[in-house]
Amino acid sequence: MLNQRVAGDAVGPVEPDLDRVFQALADPSRRAMLERLTRGPASVSELAAPLTMSLPGVVQHLQVLEAAGLVRTEKTGRVRSCMLEPGALRAAEAWLAGRRTRWEHRLDRLGELLADDAPPAATTLTTTQE
């Protein structure tokens, strides 16, 4: 339920849908568009310029990014301006960092266990050899 997007008035910030966020990130053109938006807002044609892609193709990718909450667009007159929404990027990064921390914590504990075990093991080996 936490990951479901709330339509209409949300009470508090909506939890980013990690399925959609990671799905949106799984494409090099969409990552290039995000990359561009870290340098500041851009119009759709500015986003399209460095990509070898039709404008409708760019708009389609933009819709995926918007649905994932990674990008926000605003229409001013005839120009649609696109902005990065850093919250969804941060949520994906936090998920990965959390898993990495657990993994590293596990390795640390394994290291400690090995260190604790080392002296008796060495003694046993010496005793057996004598």
Can you tell me the distance from the alpha carbon of 121 to that of 113, in angstroms, rounded to the nearest whole number? 12
Shorter beta-carbon distance to a second copy: residue 19 or 74: 19
Using the rule CB under 8 A, is 83 a contact of a second copy?
no
Sheet harboring 79-84: ordered strands across?
42-43, 79-84, 71-76
Using the rule CB under 8 A, is 117 a contact of a second copy?
no
- Of 44, 46, 59, 95, which lies in the binding site for a second copy, with binding defined by CB under 8 A? 95
Q: Are 88 and 21 in contact (CB under 8 A)?
A: yes
Calculate the alpha carbon distances from 63 to 18, 44, 114, 120 in Å.
16, 11, 51, 62
Shorter beta-carbon distance to a second copy: residue 97 or 125: 97
Which positions lie near a second copy, rule CB under 8 A?
3, 18-23, 25-28, 31, 34-35, 38-40, 84, 86, 89-90, 92-93, 95-97, 99-100, 102-103, 106
